[in-house]
Structure 1
Amino acid sequence: MNTEGNGQSVLSTLPKELPLDFLRTITNQFSEDRVLGTGTFGTVYTGIMPDGQHIAVKRLAENAPLPRDKAITNEVQNIMALKHDNIVKLVGFCHEGQKRVVLNNGRYIVADVFESLLCYEYLPKGSLLKNLFDRSNSMAWDTRFKIIKGICNGLLFLHRIPIIHMDLKPENILLDDNMNPKIADFGLSRLFGQEQTRANTQNVVGSYGYIAPEYLYRGEISAQSDIYSLGLLIIETTTGEKNQPKQNEPSARDFIENVRQNWTDGRIASRYSTLKANDLQEIKVCIKIGLECVQIDRKKRPSIENIVQRLDGRCAN
């Protein structure tokens, strides 16, 4: 289909709810060679539209940490209307049942089997995880700083709604062609009421090494839960060192302590001797902010407003 004449692409005219057969067709029946990545909530495929444009199609897994209908409701309701340069754009979704013959208690029956899918703008650079820790492609400091500021601007936008993301980590930050970061994967996100600042849950789900301690051990959810995860993201992006919790160890204490002890002003100056004084100051500020964000006492962590102001140089560090 040629849409150049009217200046519109197929993508811009897509309905929000898409038929399952259409998504099967554009992903070549969810073929292996279209897989972009696999995560906690499912597998992401490249979908090629009739006009040649690409979209990312996430097929939610049956064994995801949240029921598929809950995860899709979270994503659709919480990010469908969001428009911000640092938030990934959701372009469509599908929650459709098809009749299939399935085995149930030793008998074959005909049942409605539901598929849940989410469609996003396609970001060919992939995740921050892939780009940050690829040794063959060392990321310049100005790019790292731009990514940190972009993530913080996106989180500021979310927290003002207020939406708590609940799963900030390098895999869930996607990069566009200009290395602008976009916060993605809202499967665990929570929409708070305007007067609400905290919530509690018995069902703690998230990514080991990035979960705030008050959520991990007491089920407490607040904006400061995101700030803890953000601190780890800032530290990883600044240092280029990966937060790798030990198996079955949900906290990041060893990683944080290592950074606190080793990333002193003297080490930063010697390690980055070719950088200008202004760049070195930015690195020091980012390490300082990151370590403040991961304090055990959530009340001592800075607000996202304070972090953005400091990164912009609008208040003292």
Structure 2
Amino acid sequence: MLENGEAIAVKRLSKTYMYEKEFLREVECLIKVKHKNVVRFIGYCVDSQGRADSYNGKFVMADVLQRLLCFEYLPHGALDQYITDASTGLDWRKRYKIINGVCEGLHYLHQNRIIHLDLKPQNILLDDNMLPKIADFGLARCFNEKQSRAFTTKIWGTVGYLAPEFSNREVTYRFDLYSLGVIIIEILTGKRGYEDVENILESWSYRLDKSERDIQLEQVRVCAEIGIECIESNPAKRPVSVQHIITRLDETRSMDSSIEAAVTRSSRPQVMLAPGTWRPPTTLHLGAFLYPSF
């Protein structure tokens, strides 16, 4: 808890002597980012304290490092708690909002030349409004301006979300796209792995509101197609970038907004005037502005 009463989340690194590089890498990435779909970094603390202990039968004094990372506190926890099939759990609007938010957050990271490398539901946190925020940058890599790929001796991550090319030790921006695809399919179906688009549409068709069924089914279709494209084993067959994905999502989102606007207009009260009824000219309303009272 901060002095202003704001609750914060503290991440404490265990066995800190083993994770010096990971700690520095995570702080470097967190300092660079500031986006509504990325967890807000508040600060960090490194403290060294003396500790007496027994080692190989001898009494020794050693310095113990404590490394802490402080973030905004997100009360709804991680996305993995809300992964269900289409018949239960979050409605489509909330799921669609989460998919959009994760894509926008990942696009922001890639724009800032950051590859997350451990994107999964456990690392996507939700705020009071179920707005998703990407978290945990312990495995992230920062590229320079001219860099688009890197080769590394070790790639850590979570089995099931790791792109197949991890076996080649190759890291590119499309590495994250594979993880994104797995997450999208999970949000749609409640499970990982390839799913047929038509089966996904059928699973959702029974739950959607009749008034918005057509547009929402189109949104489900687009998300399913994107998810399947992202989990292609060949990186070259995945979407070109997260921006490309967002453009496709924006098209279905704008259709939804157009419908909402039309419904709003139709719900406004209509004033019907009898034939021959005098209507005051609209320019008279300007009087309040042109001639203010003193």
Counterpart contact for 1:235–1:287, Cα < 8 Å: yes
Bigger RCO (CA 8 Å, 6+ sep): 2
The one-letter code of the counterpart of 1:223 is: Y
**Alpha-carbon contact 1:224-1:301 (below 8 Å) kept:** yes
2:117/2:157 contact within 8 Å kept? yes
- Cα distance, 1:270 vs structure 2: 5.2
1:222 offset after TM fit, Å? 0.7
In 1, Cα distance between equivalents of 2:104 and 2:123 = 15
Task: Identify the residue that residue 236 of structure 2 maps to in structure 1.
Answer: 299
Aligned to 1:283: 220
CA deviations over 1:46-91 (Å, ceiling 9, x no partner): xx2344321000111228xx93222221121111231110010110
Q: In structure 2, what residue type is equivalent to 1:153?
A: E
SS at match of 2:49: strand
1:148·1:234 contact (CA, 8 Å) conserved in 2?
A: yes
Give the direction of change, closer, same or farther, for the CA distance of 1:229–1:110 in structure 2 (3 Å limit): same
The structure 1 residue matched to 2:199, chosen from 250, 263, 274, is 263
Q: Does residue 98 in structure 1 map to residue 49 in structure 2?
A: yes
Q: CA deviation at 1:268?
A: 4.5
- Deviation of 1:166 after TM superposition, in Å, equals 0.4
- Offset, 1:262: 6.7
Deviation at 1:172, TM superposition (A): 0.4
Structure-2 residue corresponding to 1:183:
134
Structure 1 or 2, whichever has the larger Rg, is: 2
Q: Equivalents in 2 of 1:261, 1:137: separation in Å? A: 19
Match of 1:85 in 2: 36
Q: Does 1:227 align with 2:164?
A: no
User: For the structure 1 residues 313 and 136, does the alpha-carbon distance in structure 2 shift closer, same or farther, using more than 3 Å as the test?
Assistant: closer
For 1:86-120, what per-residue CA distance to the aligned partner results, in whole angstroms no more than 9, with x for missing partners?
01011011122111013333322111111111100
Structure 2 residue identity aligned to 1:242: K
Structure 1 residue 133: Cα displacement: 3.9
Q: CA deviation at 1:232?
A: 0.7
In 1, are the aligned partners of 2:188 and 2:200 still within 8 Å (CA)? no
Q: Name 1:242's counterpart in structure 2.
A: 191
Residue 26 (structure 2) aligned to one of 60, 75, 81: 75
2:59 corresponds, among 108, 116, 122, to: 108
| TM-score normalised by the chain length of structure 2 | 0.79
RMSD: 2.4
Relative to structure 1, the CA distance from residue 268 to residue 123 in structure 2 (aligned partners, 3 Å threshold; closer, same or farther) is: closer
When the two structures are aligned, how many residues end up with a matched partner? 251
Q: Which runs of 5+ in 2 are unaligned?
A: 254-294
How much identity, in percent, do the aligned residues show? 43
| Amino acid aligned to 2:128 | D
User: Counterpart of 1:57 in 2: which secondary structure?
Assistant: strand
For the structure 1 residues 268 and 284, does the alpha-carbon distance in structure 2 shift closer, same or farther, using more than 3 Å as the test?
same
Secondary structure, counterpart of 1:211 in structure 2: coil
Change (3 A) 1:267 1:206: same
| Partner residue in 2 for 1:62 | 15
User: Does structure 2 conserve the Cα–Cα contact (< 8 Å) formed by 1:129 and 1:171?
Assistant: yes
**Amino acid paired to 2:153:** Q
- Give the whole-Å Cα distance in 1 for the aligned partners of 2:14 and 2:50: 18
State the one-letter code of the partner of 1:276.
Answer: R
Q: Name the CA distance, whole Å, in 2 between partners of 1:272 and 1:223.
A: 34
User: Cα–Cα, structure 1 residues 153 and 289, in superposed 2: closer, same or farther, change >3 Å?
Assistant: same
| Post-superposition offset of 1:264 | 5.2
The amino acid of 1:61's aligned partner reads S
- Pick the structure with more helix per residue: 2
Q: Deviations over 1:124-156 (max 9, x none)?
A: 111111133499972010111011001100111
* C-alpha distance in structure 1 between counterparts of 2:86 and 2:63, whole Å: 47
CA contact (8 A) 1:198 1:221 kept: yes
* Post-superposition CA distance 1:253-306 (Å, at most 9, x none): xx22xx137735455545657451000000010000000000010011101110
Partner Cα separation in structure 1 for residue 222 and residue 86 of structure 2: 24
Q: Structure 1, unaligned stretches of length 5 or more?
A: 1-47, 244-254
1:195-254 superposed Cα distances (whole Å, 9 cap, x missing partner)? 111111121210111000001x11111101100000011111122x133xxxxxxxxxxx
For 1:211, the equivalent position in structure 2 comes to: 162
CA contact (8 A) 2:85 2:191 kept: no
Q: 1:56 to 1:137 in 2, by over 3 A?
A: farther
CA gap 1:194/1:314 in 2 versus in 1, 3 angstroms? farther
Mapped to 2, the partners of 1:304 and 1:228 lie a distance apart of: 11
